[in-house]
Amino acid sequence: MTSVNRPPLGVGLIGYAFMGAAHSQAWRTAPHFFDLPLRPRLTVLAGRNQDAVTDAAERLGWASTETDWRRVIQRDDVDLVDVCTPGDTHAEIAIAALEAGKHVLCEKPLANTVAEAEAMAEAAEKAAARGVRSMVGFTYRRVPAIGLARKLVADGRLGDIRHVRAQYLQDWIADPAAPMSWRLEKDKAGSGALGDIGAHIVDLTQYITGQTLTGVSGMLETFVKERPLPTSSGKLGGVGGSETGAVTVDDAAVFMGRFTGGALGTFEATRFALGRKNGLRIEINGSAGSLAFDFEDMNVLQFFDGAEPAEIAGFRRIIVTEPEHPYVGAWWPAGHGLGYEHGFTHQVVDLVNAVAAGKDPTPSFADGLQVQRVLAAVERSAGAGSAWTEIPR
Ligand SMILES: NC(=O)c1ccc[n+]([C@@H]2O[C@H](COP(=O)([O-])OP(=O)(O)OC[C@H]3O[C@@H](n4cnc5c(N)ncnc54)[C@H](O)[C@@H]3O)[C@@H](O)[C@H]2O)c1
């Protein structure tokens, strides 16, 4: 039986811009490449403007629309709610959906504050006791090279982890004329580069190493404090007019931290690294080997095996496109690379498998809460002259 003939899983998606489109293609594509135990149905797309949501539903393949997310969670034909809206809405939507008995996939960062994230993790735990599942969208976990990196660490190929070096470098607001957007407003986004992209490298380094951060010392900076208000919106920003608004989040975050296993970590998250477009880079050095990853070359994982004789030792460039690699076997013949969107499809695959198996998927809302605590500790540290700040467990 292919997934086409499996029992349906009605999906309601809230928000239809960047992540809405990425998640839509994942829901559409997953059952065509992976043999899923349930068949996702693109049941309803929700936005706030009827014309815009109707247009988006047609483009992205959704069967119906709503203009209030509350209607989505009331519908009997919706089993799972997918939250693709800015952070200020995550807690309210996700908690209401879980209480209504709907499984939830919620975009990262889980929330805008630790208090919201705590409430969400509590709601998720209660829901799980009733068989209702939840997952937070730290999508990069599902890049095959990242899965391989985690496996190499778990297999002991790196030995004891000593250094974790992580950067997330973008440049889309390096130009001071780049207009305001919700990502630059604290009440909508929670924080700036820290929560938007720093959250990913916190999650990924913890995921790959199997360790969590115990404390941090950080610096935050807002280089451009006023920006033009947008006159039209684009993919991430848009076009600015003559009026300006205040940027109320960090433009860049730099922090260091200690991991539970004793490793030292350095982290950098910025949207001001001119020329770096999606430079999510991770390098890990252990007692037995090292690995390095850069999302701008996302099908490759670099691995250095410290046991090799010095004469021939060197970083090897593993092209992570073999059927033996995580998720890859479901796609193309070996060597035909994957792209940004595949991580979202893998996320759907893992979520649907967990829902069908009656298991809690990962990363859980509790994992999302833990990342939120790291982000909050960085902010507290930065506000206290970079003072060392423990992360509550
Ligand atoms: N997993 C990833 O790699 C990744 C990448 C980008 C963004 N994100 C996260 O995804 C979320 C959304 O970001 P985005 O880039 O898609 O933003 P976006 O601005 O492109 O889209 C946000 C959408 O939410 C809608 N929206 C806002 N408030 C709403 C409400 N009250 N009810 C219904 N719709 C509402 C907007 O109309 C828009 O369609 C954020 O939490 C962001 O951090 C995750």
pLDDT, tens only, 204-226: 999 999 999 999 999 999 999 99
Ligand 1 residue neighbourhood (C-beta within 6 Å) = 14-20, 46-48, 69, 84-87, 89, 107-108, 137, 139, 196
Nearest CA to 61 among 92, 127, 19, 16? 16
pLDDT digits (tens, 9 = 90+) for 74-122: 999 999 999 999 999 999 999 999 999 999 999 999 999 999 999 999 9
DSSP helix/strand/coil, 30 = helix
- Measured CA distances, 126 to 98, 132, 373 (Å): 9, 9, 21
Separation CA 120–CA 230 (nearest Å): 32
d(CA 276, CA 272): 9
Distance (Å) from CA 304 to ligand 1 centroid: 38
CA distance 159 to 340: 30
Mutation probe of ligand 1 site: the residue of 14, 16, 19 with most atoms within 8 A of C-beta: 19
Terminal-to-terminal C-alpha distance of the chain: 45
Closest by CA position to 256, among listed 374, 336, 175: 374
Tracing tokens 């043999």 back to the chain, one arrives at: 35
CB 78 within 8 A of CB 42: no
Q: Which residues touch 358 (CB under 8 Å, ≥6 apart)?
A: 131
Structure tokens at 31: 């059952």
**Ligand 1 centre distance from Cα of residue 192 (Å):** 14
pLDDT string in tens for the chain (393-residue length): 567 689 999 999 999 999 999 999 999 999 999 999 999 999 999 999 999 999 999 999 999 999 999 999 999 999 999 999 999 999 999 999 999 999 999 999 999 999 999 999 999 999 999 999 999 999 999 999 999 999 999 999 999 999 999 999 999 999 999 999 999 999 999 999 999 999 999 999 999 999 999 999 999 999 999 999 998 777 676 788 889 999 999 999 999 999 999 999 999 999 999 999 999 999 999 999 999 999 999 999 999 999 999 999 999 999 999 999 999 999 999 999 999 999 999 999 999 999 999 999 999 999 999 999 999 999 999 999 999 999 998
